[in-house]
Structure 1
Amino acid sequence: MLYRRTDSGAQQDGHEGPAGRVAPAGPPAGAAVVVGSFAMDGGQWFERHRHEHHQLAWAGRGVLAVRAVGSTWVLPPSMALWIPAGTRHATGAAGPALFRSLYFLPGRCPVGWSAPTVVGVSPLLRELICYLADDTLTAAARERAEAVVLDQLRPVSVATVQAPMPRDPRARRVAEALRADPADGRTLAEWGARVGASGRTLARAFVADTGMPYGQWRTRVRLQAAMPLLAGGATVAAVAARVGYASPSAFVAAFRRAVGVPPGVYFAP
């Protein structure tokens, strides 16, 4: 399926939105790459779906989240995610965002990545996406721009920030409270007094249900909460304090360990 550009929301542009599938519109004549544009509200998600075409998911404004193959990617405007054709995925936004996707005809696309792949969005690629959103381009102009887009698709080495929810009901109550207030610094023993379990029991539940110790899980929740704030232009110092770090340097170190690059690189324009 291919999608025509529009800024009036998912229900009019052929994407599978919360209300289900909408009939897709046709691509411009001769197009091998089509841009779909969707204004998203905070907390809005497009339910799990798949495309017959490769997709490059990108937010020109705000922060995009993509869930696929058991992972969640949190993507500022400097990053996009290549989603191979046929891959089931869901897309959402933590805050207001402009979600712009490129859809590639597999038969005319030389990119052979078989798994979701993070791509850096250079200033040139950003401009090309906006350029290709113009349905009035001539076939020759579109073909030239599409060739440059393909040349600009370069993987970057960043890790996903995952924090799966525990199944144990007591640990889940702790997890939900920390998602609501990631700066909460209570120990597991203190949480246990609140939810009716010992700190040791909660620690075992987090490892068993999430695959990581509680401290590591809490770090990832804090980093997830920090992403939209950093993308919105907040300073590292302000974000560090907001999500529970005693100093900006401690936050930057945690971010780099989890993601692979410091915030300044991840959110570089």
Structure 2
Amino acid sequence: MSQNGQPSVPGRSAVLPVVTGDTAMVFGAGILPAGHWFGTHEHPQHQIARAARGVIVVEIGDGHWVLPPTRALWIPGNTRHRTGSSEGATMSGIFVAPDRCPVSFTAPTMLRVTRLLHELFDHLTAPGTAPAPRRRAEAVVFDLLDPVEVIPIGARLPTDARARQVAEALERDPADERTLGQFATDVAAGPRTLARLFVAETGMSFGQWRTQIRLAASLPPLAAGVPIARIAGRVGYSTPSAYIAAFRRSVGVSPGRYFAR
């Protein structure tokens, strides 16, 4: 565990020096191996989560936030969340003291990371930056925090053991095309029972839930620049146009515009 509350990956991460004095921000960094997830946790500081390299994912409740280096996520203090990376990434965690913070995002908020903001983050993590220049740089960072309006994608897992088994199989392989009737024998529950459980425990029909899981699985490769033709088959769509249509119906924009807005 780092000094600012962020879990670290034993033997695979490095924590940057913690800033002391009257600063508003402290910085931590770590290498996330492919497939690694920090456990669900919270901390009193606000956090700006970002990937310096690769793509990270932050899950908060039902929300599934995918962050390439051009995006960051404001996580309000005391918000339970978990963070990971499917392909591996270098994560930068910027922790903000609530009593020294002039911005007031009260909910998780996607932020645009411009080249200038990226350079300021590097400046603030450089060793030997004096207190007065640090305070001025922090003030500019706060001025540059620019929200990006996006719809988070994802769905919570059911808690019933039978429905949960179905859900976890689809999380492992979003392209799995089995119906509830085909899953029923494996989990010892009738298809109608499973259908009722998904509605009661996720707030969605099974079909809607499956769509959200497929779209969520598509976001990390989409953020990494993988061609849509490859992504579509990987997450269970027979053609790129079917994937694009499902994405647009659920999110309101095409996949190509999701990270460009």
TM superposition score category, shorter chain reference = 0.7 to 0.9
Identify the match of residue 138 of structure 2 among 133, 146, 153: 146
**In 1, are the aligned partners of 2:16 and 2:27 still within 8 Å (CA)?**
no
CA shift at 1:30, angstroms? 5.2
**In 1, are the aligned partners of 2:3 and 2:18 still within 8 Å (CA)?**
no
TM-score (norm 1): 0.82
**In 2, are the aligned partners of 1:18 and 1:45 still within 8 Å (CA)?**
no
Change in Cα spacing, 1:150 to 1:47, as seen in structure 2 (3 Å) is same
Corresponding residue for 1:96?
A: 88
Structure 1: where are the runs of 5+ without partners? 1-9
Q: Deviations over 1:102-138 (max 9, x none)?
A: 2223333210122222222223322322222212223
User: What is the rounded CA distance, in whole Å, between the counterparts of 2:187 and 2:80 in structure 1?
Assistant: 36
**In 1, are the aligned partners of 2:48 and 2:95 still within 8 Å (CA)?**
yes
User: What is the rounded CA distance, in whole Å, between the counterparts of 2:110 and 2:202 in structure 1?
Assistant: 24
Identify the match of residue 230 of structure 2 among 238, 241, 248: 238
Q: Deviations over 1:52-76 (max 9, x none)?
A: 3221111122222223356443333
Corresponding residue for 2:257?
A: 265
Question: Once the two structures are aligned, what percentage of the paired residues are identical?
Answer: 49
Amino acid at match of 1:15: Q
Corresponding residue for 1:229?
A: 221
User: What is the rounded CA distance, in whole Å, between the counterparts of 1:26 and 1:168 in structure 2?
Assistant: 43
SS of 2:102's equivalent? coil
User: What is the rounded CA distance, in whole Å, between the counterparts of 1:216 and 1:101 in structure 2?
Assistant: 33
SS of 2:39's equivalent? strand
CA shift at 1:215, angstroms? 0.8
C-alpha root-mean-square deviation of aligned residues, in Å? 2.9
Q: Deviations over 1:137-165 (max 9, x none)?
A: 23343333222211221222212222222
User: What is the rounded CA distance, in whole Å, between the counterparts of 1:248 and 1:152 in structure 2?
Assistant: 36
Corresponding residue for 2:241?
A: 249
User: What is the rounded CA distance, in whole Å, between the counterparts of 2:152 and 2:137 in structure 1?
Assistant: 30
User: What is the rounded CA distance, in whole Å, between the counterparts of 1:203 and 1:125 in structure 2?
Assistant: 47
Amino acid at match of 1:16: P
**In 2, are the aligned partners of 1:203 and 1:213 still within 8 Å (CA)?**
yes
User: What is the rounded CA distance, in whole Å, between the counterparts of 1:212 and 1:70 in structure 2?
Assistant: 12
1:53-92 matches, within 5 Å, as 53-68=45-60, 71-92=63-84
SS of 2:157's equivalent? coil
Amino acid at match of 1:213: S
Identify the match of residue 189 of structure 1 among 162, 166, 181: 181
Corresponding residue for 1:177?
A: 169
CA shift at 1:244, angstroms? 1.0
Identify the match of residue 196 of structure 2 among 193, 200, 204: 204
Change in Cα spacing, 1:29 to 1:196, as seen in structure 2 (3 Å) is closer
Change in Cα spacing, 1:76 to 1:183, as seen in structure 2 (3 Å) is same
CA shift at 1:182, angstroms? 0.9
SS of 2:171's equivalent? helix
Identify the match of residue 41 of structure 2 among 49, 52, 62: 49
Change in Cα spacing, 1:26 to 1:175, as seen in structure 2 (3 Å) is closer
User: What is the rounded CA distance, in whole Å, between the counterparts of 2:147 and 2:192 in structure 1?
Assistant: 41
CA shift at 1:214, angstroms? 0.7
Aligned residues: 258
User: What is the rounded CA distance, in whole Å, between the counterparts of 1:124 and 1:212 in structure 2?
Assistant: 41
Amino acid at match of 1:54: H
TM-score (norm 2): 0.84
**In 2, are the aligned partners of 1:78 and 1:266 still within 8 Å (CA)?**
no
Q: Deviations over 1:208-248 (max 9, x none)?
A: 12110111111111112212222333111110111111222
Residue 108 in structure 1 maps to residue 133 in structure 2:
no
**In 1, are the aligned partners of 2:237 and 2:243 still within 8 Å (CA)?**
yes
CA shift at 1:12, angstroms? 8.3
Q: Deviations over 1:29-85 (max 9, x none)?
A: 553333221111123233333333221111122222223356443333332211223
